[in-house]
Structure 1
Amino acid sequence: MDALASPAGARNFSAQYFSDFAAALRYWRGKRGISQLRLSVDSGISQRHLSFLETGRAQPGKDLILKLGLVLDIPLRQRNAMLLAAGFAPAYRERNLQDPDMEAVKQALEFMLQQQSPYPALVVDRLWNLVMANEPAARMMRFFLGMPAHMPIPRDGSVNVIRMTLDPNGLRPALVNWQEVCADQLQWVQREAMGDGPGSEAAKLLDELLALPGIAEAASQPNLDRLALPFLPITLRKDEVALKLFTTITTLGTPHDVTVHELRLEAFFPADEASRRWFERQAQ
């Protein structure tokens, strides 16, 4: 299971989350590329008041923070962080997937995983920690990681899919085009790190991934030739088996829970006939 384990030592960022509401509001308005005037029009809040909020001369109410979070399309986790920075309690709960209230969500995800068979599918959280997987996905991981045929794949969030993919002791030796895949996968973590700010779990994960051998160099040299294709294929090879895959990402609509908002289902599809036949044979 060493290939699935998290490395013990990750470099830390010295800074912390946004220290106050004003800093967070300035960050998110800038990230969305919206002027104060545009935000004023879209939110119905005067530009003067927005200016005071961004300089700390005025303090926001809870309803105002929620309105700005909606207009700026701020992730639910970060809306909670902004509420806390302004002295309010979080507005959105963060339930465990095993919570009884989440049973309908869990059943829906299990249904989608089953429907994807004989092809692999995973459910991950916002940092790409594995929380659910169908049997074809587990079978594919065991094969390319050289694990025993019936060894269980942890589904408790302890396996990070991106780390497992890019680690030289993980899937990377079997990933023919790992440099191209690297740049795309890092973008997911970079988005989370930019939203969370320095010192966050996402920022630490990004730092940890960039510390893996060859990752920083590969991420800084994008391959523009791949843009000729409609998608980036994931090409895996081991012994006589060569698989070419592409993926889709599904999220849950109208979330009012942080966990639900952050769950993603990644479904793998064969990009050629040989790959399709291999998965169908494995399912027999």
Structure 2
Amino acid sequence: MQYVNKALERTLRHHNPYPAVVMDRYWNVFMANQSSLQFFNCFIDMEARKGPRNLLHLMFDPEGMRPFIIGWERVARSLLQRVLRESVGRLMDDATRALVATLLAYPEVETEWQKPAVGMDANDTLPVIPLSFAKDGLILNYFSMVSTVGTPQTIAAQELRVECMFPADDVTEHHHDLLMASAPKPSDPRSHRSHSIWPRG
């Protein structure tokens, strides 16, 4: 895993100035680049968050990124469906059940969203994940690409996935650059490591 970790760190570092994280199959974040904290700190105080280091909780939590996500209900349904689809072919283990239960416990999240027929639209079949955020009257459009470690030699490597955000249009790219230029940078030079930029739960 030493060489895998180095490769992941390099991938995250070179994806700056756009956010990128490494997660396990339960969306727990354990590596992230410098731009991830800078970007999310433009919306909320990440250091003040006491919740788990989990990207889904960040998106579902009313005190997290949820108020800033355009069309949050559609995005939340799509994310929940993704969790369930990724468990197909495997037994639904206790950790996945617990994750789904905690997501459903958030306000205004419907249990019906677990059913595949509910909330499916063209975005659910795209090879990328569209996300739009509202910031100071602007709408910033991104898409998220997910990759996994190829030909894993260990179970640990097989669980890893890298999620990278990209601007979806020229306007977003321009305003993202301005946003990141004004955002404070983490003081720890090892900013590509999750323990230095992603608040622990």
Pick the structure with greater CA Rg: 1
Give the Cα–Cα distance (whole angstroms) in 2 for the partners of residues 153 and 113 of structure 1. Answer: 23
Q: Which has the higher contact order (CA 8 A, sep 6+)?
A: 2
Q: How many pairs are equivalent?
A: 177
Pick from 126, 129, 132: which aligns with 1:235?
A: 132
- 2: distance between equivalents of 1:258 and 1:230? 25
Could you tell me how far apart the structure 2 residues matched to 1:228 and 1:196 are?
Answer: 23
How much has 1:187 moved relative to structure 2? 2.4
Q: Which runs of 5+ in 2 are unaligned?
A: 182-201
- Structure 1 vs Structure 2 CA RMSD: 2.8
The answer as to 2:95 corresponding to 1:196 is no
Instruction: Indicate the percent of aligned positions where both proteins have the same amino acid.
Output: 32
Distance in 1 separating the partners of 2:150 and 2:15: 19
Q: Over residues 28-80 of structure 1, what are the superposed CA-to-partner deviations in whole Å (9 max), with x where a residue is unaligned?
A: xxxxxxxxxxxxxxxxxxxxxxxxxxxxxxxxxxxxxxxxxxxxxxxxxxxxx
- Match for residue 108 of structure 2? 214
Q: Which one has the bigger strand percentage? A: 2
Give CA-to-partner distance per residue, 1:57-116, whole Å, 9 cap, x none. xxxxxxxxxxxxxxxxxxxxxxxxxxxxxxxxxxxxxxxxxxxxx221111001111121
User: What does residue 35 of structure 2 align with?
Assistant: 136
Distance 2:85 2:127 in 1: 22
Query: Are 2:147 and 1:250 aligned?
Result: yes
Per-residue Cα deviation, 1:124-183 (whole angstroms, up to 9, x for no partner): 1110001111111111111122x17xx4999xx941101110111211111111112112
Contact residue 132 and residue 141 of structure 2 kept, 8 A: yes
Runs of 4+ with >3 A deviation: 151-154, 191-194, 225-232
2:8 corresponds in structure 1 to 109
CA contact (8 A) 1:181 1:234 kept: yes
- Contact 1:196–1:202 (CA under 8 A) maintained in structure 2: no
Q: Name the TM-score, length of structure 2 as normaliser.
A: 0.76
Superposed displacement of residue 224, structure 1? 2.8
Q: Whole-Å Cα distance in 2 between the matches of residues 205 and 276 of structure 1?
A: 33
**Aligned pairs for 1:153-192 within 5 A:** 158-191=52-85
Bigger proportion of residues as helix: 1
Q: Is the 8 A contact 2:128 2:146 kept in 1?
A: no
TM normalised by structure 1 equals 0.56
Structure 1 equivalent of residue 158 of structure 2: 261
